[in-house]
Structure 1
Amino acid sequence: MKRAILLLGATSALAISSPAQAQTIDTGELPRNTEEVIVITAARTQLPASALPLTIDVIDREQLARQVQISGSTVDAVSALLPSFSPTREKLSGAGESLRGRSPLYAINGIPQSTPVRDGSRDGYTIDPFFIDRVEVIYGSNALQGIGATGGVVNQVTVGAPLRDGIAIRALAQVTTSDTFEGEGIGAKIGSLVGYRAGAFDTSVGATVERRGAFFDANGNRIGVDGTQGELQDSDSWSVFARFGYDLAPTTRLEVVANRFELEGNANYVLVPGNRAAGIPATSIRGETPGDPPSNTAELLSGSLIDSDLNGGTFTLQGFYSRTDDVFGGGIFGTFQDPRIDPAGQLFDQSANQSRKLGGKVSYERGVPGMDDLVLTVGFDALFDRTQQRLAQTDRVWVPETDFRSLAPFVQGNLALAGDVVRLAGGLRYENVQLSVGDYETLFSYGPVQVSGGNPSFEDLLWNAGVIVEPAEGLRAYGSYAEGFTIADVGRILRGISTPNVDIDDFLSLEPVVSNNRELGLEYDRGPLTASASYFWSSSDFGSLLVLRNDVFEVERQPIEIEGFEASLAWRTPLPGLLLSGGYAALEGQTDGDADGLVDEDLDGANISPDRINLAADYTTGPLSARLQARMYLSREFNDVATATDFEGYTLLDAFIAYQTSIGEFSLAAQNIADEFYITYDSDTVRVTDNNRFYAGRGRTFTLGWRGTF
């Protein structure tokens, strides 16, 4: 990427993107804050972020709350703030949304929310952001949390314990409307969290309820509903959260966290297809939708024990159980037909993806006796996932019940040299994965055929290494390498087998998709100026597709290469309270889709995000605070035959203003304040002949809110 290299060279004299420093995003872009020590729990260490060879962002509670008020969800907030994160689809499904061109792993307190056997792409909507204290984003492929983090980790850390004895209350109320002020477009949300501390015991319990109205584009038309994958518009959600903690000793804490989140569409609208040739996006009209409305339900129960002074080290033990149930929209699809049930071929059905996880993590970290500058972390992770996809109306099995098991010991080391001027870090993680499938019968449309179950498996050793140099105060440099892995969506293969007398052990190859992230960066943070720049490149020898070869499904060796450049700048101006910031990200990705041995075909819009510029101005004086931000998604051309896949680009302006009073903060947020008409990135670049998936983005939208603490 020539332009990336030139930009890196031009800015390297100024700064570098330090993996070692967590970025507290008080400004919404990528400036680092070196005035406080931040421990990144998703990094599996008690060392501060400044000691880690990782690029890390931290979105704090205040910034998250403001971005959520602008855009509505944690996923939208992360996407708005981080230029390397792709534009969201503005739907319930996150399919195709990426970080640095690969899929991120969403987690809650380090607990994975993905469904690796059958990817439902709903893992960004499993907890209400009201209960999130901060979001930790680790960039690039890594195996710190196990399977799935090929693009990075988005770890949502839940609210902590009250600081003082007694009762503490947080409350929220807001109303959202489009600038047409149509009644059907009005939404509202209320939430409350009550915390209590009495000596060694503390607890926090809360609930939220939200109703979303219809969405309108900049031309005042209803945006088309996605009746299959699911919608955010015209939906209701509610969430309950509880956390209980007890300090067994001054250095030992026991904590239990429980969460339930449910989002369900109201199904008040049906799709009116658009016309791509005429540039007319899909819209919606009132109508009845058969079957159950698309929905997403997530439950989580976890317990943790942390002793920060066990024989001079830190011991961490965590166990968890989680359950997700994703219901998709239905139809009279050929795949669902079965003449034994409906000879007329008019059988309506819809699918539901159900996953259950049981897991545990244990680790111990301490300095090596006699070598105070060397810190070692050893641990072991276990994950058991049971997933199936059924047809909800007829209770037929589409993807058979499949057990995924991962056992992974790991070790990490961190060595400080030359008075902490240089740090070396690295580690190993050994993955032992097995998939277990029982005997089953496919749907009638695939035969039906009888399939003999099996237990395909793989083992792999993943490693990471990095070096950090701090040659002068405020200046950091680093280089790092890290590997991450995932598996292909084997559920799609299991449900589509049409060959008789298949044995899974001979039919399915479970080779992992191993990706890596290599990175160089610089960071500068002195006085009023904070700046950074980083260049990264990643590759994977195996793609994420399974193909049939000689009656055996194997992972296709479809190489993928991605490189990118990121830069940021923040300036605390001479005008008190005014901070200006900006961020830039450029990505290029290619693959060998035609198997000619050349990695020369551009990744499409479902796999790579557009280049992007973020600009923001923040102003705070007394009780008044305000923010104006711009997201400029730059045009992108793909080297395929169809020019229809090219992306035109668009710019969105958002604003936020708040005033603190004795009874709480009153605020007004505006999304797309310029009322820009645009087609969403996914709609503009993926499945470009499908008029049903030709969606416009949201027009000008206002949210009036109140937040109070007592």
Structure 2
Amino acid sequence: MFRYFASAFALVAVSPAVAQSTSGDEADREQVGVDGETIVVTATRTQLPASALPLTVDVIDSEALERQLLISGSTVDAVSALLPSFSPTREKLSGAGESLRGRSPLYAINGIPQSTPVRDGSRDGYTIDPFFIDRVEVIYGSNALQGIGATGGVVNQVTVGAPKNDGATVRTLLQTTLPDGFAGEGIGAKAGALLGYRSGPFDASFGATVERRGAFFDGTGSRIGVDGTQGEIQDSDSWSVFARLGYELPGGARLELVANRFELEGNANYILVPGNRATGVPASSIRGETPGAPPSNTAELVSASLIDEDLGGGTFVLQGFYSRTDDVFGGGVFGVFQDPAIDPSGRLFDQSANQSRKLGGKVSYERALPGFEDLVLTVGFDALFDRTEQSLVQTGRVWVPRSNFRSLAPFLQGNLALADGLVRIAGGLRYENVELNVGDFTTLASYGPVSVAGGSPSFEDVLSNGGIIVEPLDGLRAYASYAEGFTIADVGRILRGITQAGVDVDDFLSLEPVISNNRELGLEWDRGTLSASASYFWSSSDFGSLLVLRNGVFEVERQPIEIEGVEASIDWQTPIPGLALSGGFAALTGRTDGDADGLIDEDLDGANISPDRVNLAAEYSSGRFSARAQARFYLEREFNDASTATDFEGYTLLDAFLSYRTQFGEIALAAQNLTDEFYITYDSDTVRVTDASRFFAGRGRTFTIGWRGEF
């Protein structure tokens, strides 16, 4: 713990030299918009500003998001680049092992969960094109504000809003991405357009995007190996359509309908060439044909909402939604897919697909207590119905049986201002009533096969949260909080891997939920040209969920988990007009009881904890010109396991961004990995360290030229 605080205060002490921040202009913790109005963080489920809540909250606004998207191309990469507590991405379609504060974040679109908790396909970061995202709200730490899944926090993607003025508007995007050597097969391109229209109380927005990504190259100019099983971003095509319809009712309420469809599919032009870990040669790719259907990700979402900000003196929010995802994974002649009754030769090719459907609703009402206006109460109710199954595409077999998940959750939150706002006390309760229904099923032949009796296990729990905020001076804010998050382990992995006969789902212990507790102390300063923050947190779960590699397949193990860490950020508007320097720091440790000896003394591995990190950035803006340089220092990490092969060596990435605004739009140039650093990705360096096929290098220097116009 001491080294955490020493590192945090050392960062603050060198503030004139630091640059990248998760606060200030990049990820605004004060939530003040360009027009001076306070931005409501919708993911917090309250109209109160984030400064009134005992939470660490970041908002990546539209300008900052657009810069990062030009550099890296995806919302997940943008969030990872800006937030030091977020792990390095795998640079693949799968987000398995990517974490926030050492635990899985809940991805959401307008508060609608994108995860598939019953059978986690780890594709929830790619369900909407970022062209349609206005800002990203990030709530750190375990919480149940959005229901199930936010054990590491919430990453809420807020879609573009309605046109402000009557008439038609058009927003367009054209960009091309070039690898360092300008090889034709590495060139990518993207185009997008969003048409908006407003006439009095009615407004509408319709948009579409299309993108083609080329092959990726590492710092040596070699093709990066393709992940033919989990799925790839490189060598893929995607398209997306988006629609929003809104109507302002006479009483001031707003009725809104949002629809989105996103599809990403690999082109399967390359096959993997395994690397050599002993000589440090990473996996690469050569042109070739891949059997089966290419890995793909399809997501559809329809939501309707009614918001009345002055109903009986309070704010009423009603939302209903339907979403569907279809994740197709790459195939192979894997042992787990073999069945002598189908192919006695043992060369049976197959691949899996994960299908999930969600139907849900949320309702809440918030207002100050009549006669006691310093107390603001929020009461609400959430309902979620999730149906998920995983099948084998080529043979039609069931790998994970259809599982129906149901969650009903009323909640109550309160926020009390004392001493004219000098002190605030916040807290609440959420009652989770969950049921999982699984029918009788038989596992694949490779697991026995064995017959499993279905059942309907249910869980009930009351999740609490509470905290205190003190603002003794203008610009100084301190808080302490406690919050509980809730999820279930990857039920699909557990069920499909049963090898013992006579198992009854109702009595199967491993289906118990994961309750994670997050405790946090924070201090923030925001006054004049300097803003800074530091926080210390520790979280625990007595019956956690870990991914453990066994016989080449990740399985779920239930073990106690303890994670602690420190975060710090700073933003300094220098005396030089237009120049800002900022910085961010995060250090985490996580331990578990892997050998069941009662001692929580084994380090979490790279699939379950991220490396320590320092972010630095410098940004300059003058008139129509703006520029930004940012560096990410991923620090080395050693694990206390028997193998030194899992140790992480660390690496540094430098990115740059230039833009110039003309009367015809903004022209921008971005460079990712400007120094063309050769590195092995964190996941490849610390997980499956004996697998030469999973030894992936990171992306080398890449240039993107873009044009954005608004008419």
TM range (shorter): over 0.9
Q: Which sits farther off after the overlay, 617-626 or 333-342?
A: 333-342
Return the offset for 1:81. 0.3
Give the equivalent residue in structure 2 for 1:306. Answer: 307
CA contact (8 A) 2:22 2:28 kept: no
Task: Tell me the SS of whatever aligns to 2:77.
Answer: helix
Return the offset for 1:27. 3.5
Q: Which amino acid aligns with 1:26?
A: D
CA contact (8 A) 2:28 2:59 kept: no
Percent identity for Structure 1 against Structure 2: 78
Return the offset for 1:336. 1.2
CA contact (8 A) 1:481 1:518 kept: yes
Q: Which amino acid aligns with 1:2?
A: F
CA distance in 1, matches of 2:677, 2:10: 33
| Residues 1:473 and 1:309: Cα distance change in structure 2 (over 3 Å) | same
CA contact (8 A) 1:384 1:406 kept: yes
Task: Tell me the SS of whatever aligns to 1:355.
Answer: strand
Q: Deviations over 1:198-229 (max 9, x none)?
A: 00000110000000000000100000000000
| Residues 1:480 and 1:423: Cα distance change in structure 2 (over 3 Å) | same
Return the offset for 1:452. 2.0
CA distance in 2, matches of 1:634, 1:10: 16
Return the offset for 1:517. 1.0
| Residues 1:50 and 1:687: Cα distance change in structure 2 (over 3 Å) | same
CA distance in 2, matches of 1:587, 1:379: 34
Q: Which amino acid aligns with 2:422?
A: V
Q: Deviations over 1:332-373 (max 9, x none)?
A: 112112222222222110000000000000111111111100
Q: Deviations over 1:152-196 (max 9, x none)?
A: 000000011101000011000000011110000000000000000
Query: Where do residues 22-101 of structure 1 align in structure 2 (5 Å cutoff)?
Result: 26-27=25-26, 36-101=37-102
CA distance in 1, matches of 2:683, 2:14: 35
Check if 1:281 corresponds to 2:307.
no
CA distance in 2, matches of 1:9, 1:433: 43
Q: Deviations over 1:436-494 (max 9, x none)?
A: 01122222222333322110111111000011111011111111110101111111121
CA contact (8 A) 2:467 2:479 kept: yes
Return the offset for 1:600. 1.1
Give the equivalent residue in structure 2 for 1:444. Answer: 445
CA contact (8 A) 1:675 1:700 kept: yes
| Residues 1:391 and 1:96: Cα distance change in structure 2 (over 3 Å) | same
CA distance in 2, matches of 1:595, 1:615: 41
| Residues 1:31 and 1:162: Cα distance change in structure 2 (over 3 Å) | closer
CA distance in 2, matches of 1:494, 1:575: 61
Task: Tell me the SS of whatever aligns to 1:64.
Answer: helix
Give the equivalent residue in structure 1 for 2:18. Answer: none
Check if 1:258 corresponds to 2:259.
yes
CA contact (8 A) 2:532 2:568 kept: yes
Q: Deviations over 1:369-394 (max 9, x none)?
A: 11100000000000000000000111
CA contact (8 A) 2:337 2:446 kept: yes
| Residues 1:444 and 1:557: Cα distance change in structure 2 (over 3 Å) | closer
Q: Which amino acid aligns with 1:277?
A: A
Give the equivalent residue in structure 2 for 1:539. Answer: 540
Give the equivalent residue in structure 2 for 1:423. Answer: 424
CA distance in 1, matches of 2:6, 2:249: 55
| Residues 1:653 and 1:32: Cα distance change in structure 2 (over 3 Å) | farther
Q: Which sits farther off after the overlay, 600-609 or 509-518?
A: 509-518
Q: Deviations over 1:619-643 (max 9, x none)?
A: 0111101000000101111111101
| Residues 1:121 and 1:197: Cα distance change in structure 2 (over 3 Å) | same
Q: Which amino acid aligns with 2:438?
A: V
Q: Which amino acid aligns with 1:662?
A: Q
CA contact (8 A) 2:24 2:571 kept: no
Task: Tell me the SS of whatever aligns to 2:492.
Answer: helix
CA distance in 1, matches of 2:322, 2:65: 26
Give the equivalent residue in structure 2 for 1:161. Answer: 162
| Residues 1:32 and 1:207: Cα distance change in structure 2 (over 3 Å) | closer
Q: How many pairs does the alignment contain?
A: 698
Return the offset for 1:589. 1.0
Check if 1:515 corresponds to 2:516.
yes
Query: Where do residues 513-592 of structure 1 align in structure 2 (5 Å cutoff)?
Result: 513-544=514-545, 558-592=559-593
CA contact (8 A) 1:516 1:540 kept: yes
| Residues 1:82 and 1:200: Cα distance change in structure 2 (over 3 Å) | same
CA distance in 2, matches of 1:506, 1:561: 27
Give the equivalent residue in structure 2 for 1:218. Answer: 219
Task: Tell me the SS of whatever aligns to 1:631.
Answer: strand
Task: Tell me the SS of whatever aligns to 2:84.
Answer: coil
CA distance in 2, matches of 1:165, 1:140: 41
CA contact (8 A) 2:84 2:586 kept: yes
Give the equivalent residue in structure 2 for 1:18. Answer: none
| Residues 1:25 and 1:443: Cα distance change in structure 2 (over 3 Å) | farther
Q: Deviations over 1:260-318 (max 9, x none)?
A: 00000000000000000000000000000000000000000000011111111111100
CA distance in 1, matches of 2:93, 2:637: 25
CA distance in 2, matches of 1:414, 1:452: 47
CA distance in 2, matches of 1:244, 1:25: 33
| Residues 1:363 and 1:417: Cα distance change in structure 2 (over 3 Å) | same
CA distance in 2, matches of 1:702, 1:555: 40
Q: Which amino acid aligns with 1:4?
A: Y
CA contact (8 A) 2:32 2:39 kept: no
CA contact (8 A) 1:486 1:513 kept: yes
Return the offset for 1:145. 0.6
Query: Where do residues 581-660 of structure 1 align in structure 2 (5 Å cutoff)?
Result: 581-660=582-661
CA contact (8 A) 1:375 1:415 kept: yes
Give the equivalent residue in structure 2 for 1:682. Answer: 683
CA contact (8 A) 1:28 1:616 kept: no
Check if 1:346 corresponds to 2:343.
no
Q: Which amino acid aligns with 1:453?
A: G
CA distance in 1, matches of 2:131, 2:298: 17
State the TM-score, normalizing by the size of structure 1: 0.96
Check if 1:382 corresponds to 2:409.
no
CA RMSD of aligned residues (A): 1.9
Give the equivalent residue in structure 1 for 2:5. Answer: 5
CA contact (8 A) 2:573 2:580 kept: yes
Q: Deviations over 1:675-698 (max 9, x none)?
A: 111000000011100000000001
| Residues 1:430 and 1:592: Cα distance change in structure 2 (over 3 Å) | same
Gaps of at least 5 residues in structure 1 are 16-21, 548-553
CA distance in 2, matches of 1:440, 1:417: 57
CA distance in 1, matches of 2:114, 2:570: 33
CA contact (8 A) 1:31 1:532 kept: no
Task: Tell me the SS of whatever aligns to 2:336.
Answer: helix
CA contact (8 A) 1:457 1:510 kept: no
Task: Tell me the SS of whatever aligns to 1:630.
Answer: strand
CA distance in 2, matches of 1:268, 1:672: 25
Give the equivalent residue in structure 1 for 2:336. Answer: 335
CA distance in 2, matches of 1:416, 1:437: 47
| Residues 1:565 and 1:448: Cα distance change in structure 2 (over 3 Å) | same
CA distance in 1, matches of 2:614, 2:30: 14
CA contact (8 A) 2:29 2:57 kept: no
| Residues 1:58 and 1:537: Cα distance change in structure 2 (over 3 Å) | same
Query: Where do residues 396-407 of structure 1 align in structure 2 (5 Å cutoff)?
Result: 396-407=397-408
Check if 1:482 corresponds to 2:483.
yes
Task: Tell me the SS of whatever aligns to 1:77.
Answer: helix
CA distance in 2, matches of 1:470, 1:337: 63
Q: Which sits farther off after the overlay, 112-121 or 562-571?
A: 562-571
State the TM-score, normalizing by the size of structure 2: 0.96
Give the equivalent residue in structure 2 for 1:500. Answer: 501
Give the equivalent residue in structure 1 for 2:456. Answer: 455
Q: Deviations over 1:120-160 (max 9, x none)?
A: 00000000000001000000000001111000000000011
CA contact (8 A) 1:317 1:362 kept: yes
CA distance in 1, matches of 2:364, 2:390: 34
Task: Tell me the SS of whatever aligns to 1:3.
Answer: helix
Return the offset for 1:249. 2.4
